[in-house]
A and B are shown apart, each in its own frame.
Chain A
């Protein structure tokens, strides 16, 4: 069974631009969560989607948004990029909201210059 895939793996953007990251969960998994990892703040929860609905959102500004499609694939978007948005963005999938385990993808490393 294929794991979680994320595209692109690496991205360089300029301040003020926007970016869209993509995540395809494990086949059969219907929940997708997004996390940001930085050296200073560590790993922080961004949001979780299930059945195309956002279940909850972490403490991030409105510039961070996401969505989930009917095939469970998810995208996250960051608008008006700031230098502090440079991070590893990790996507995790799980079977559904009634389960605890989450399996992570390889991440997208975003650099904002």
Chain B
């Protein structure tokens, strides 16, 4: 079974609208971290936001927020007031295990977001 599922291969959104990118995860480990990364066409993976499994509040970083619903194993990324520069691939990722684990990040297939003027 896939550990990270991103069900939206591609999305078109009008500039200045809010965007929600879906991510569901699967783990039996009580300790884990969830991440969102942005990958522009240049290829670099840009860290956006992090949510720990024990965090009580949803993480926020500027225009990015993570809608963490633990019981549903959901970690959706919300981008408020989208901009043309937000056009990129977006990856949801998880790292399992206490203290960061040792198995690296498991990534979803990604969502290709295109912001239209």
Nearest residue, chain A, Cβ from B33: A100
A104 touching B107 in the complex, CB below 8 Å, given contacts A48-B102, A97-B100 = no
Of B16-24, B45-53, B63-71, B77-85, the segment with at least 4 beta carbons within 8 Å of chain A is B45-53
Q: Are B109 and A98 in contact (CB under 8 A)?
A: no
How many chain B residues touch A (CB < 8 A): the figure is 25
Q: Which residues of B contact A55 (CB under 8 A)?
A: 102
8 A Cβ contacts from B55-102 to A: 91, 93, 95, 99-100, 102
Q: Which residues of B contact A99 (CB under 8 A)?
A: 99-100
Nearest-neighbour CB distance to chain A for B14, whole angstroms, equals: 28
A58 at interface, CB cutoff 8 A: yes
Nearest residue, chain B, Cβ from A56: B102
Partner of B37, one of A94, A96, A104, A107: A104
Q: Are A45 and B100 in contact (CB under 8 A)?
A: no
How many chain A residues touch B (CB < 8 A): the figure is 29
Partner of B99, one of A33, A88, A97: A97
Q: Are A42 and B110 in contact (CB under 8 A)?
A: yes
Q: Are B100 and A107 in contact (CB under 8 A)?
A: no
B43 at interface, CB cutoff 8 A: yes
CA A58 to CA B107, docked complex, whole Å? 13
B104 at interface, CB cutoff 8 A: yes
Q: Are A104 and B44 in contact (CB under 8 A)?
A: yes
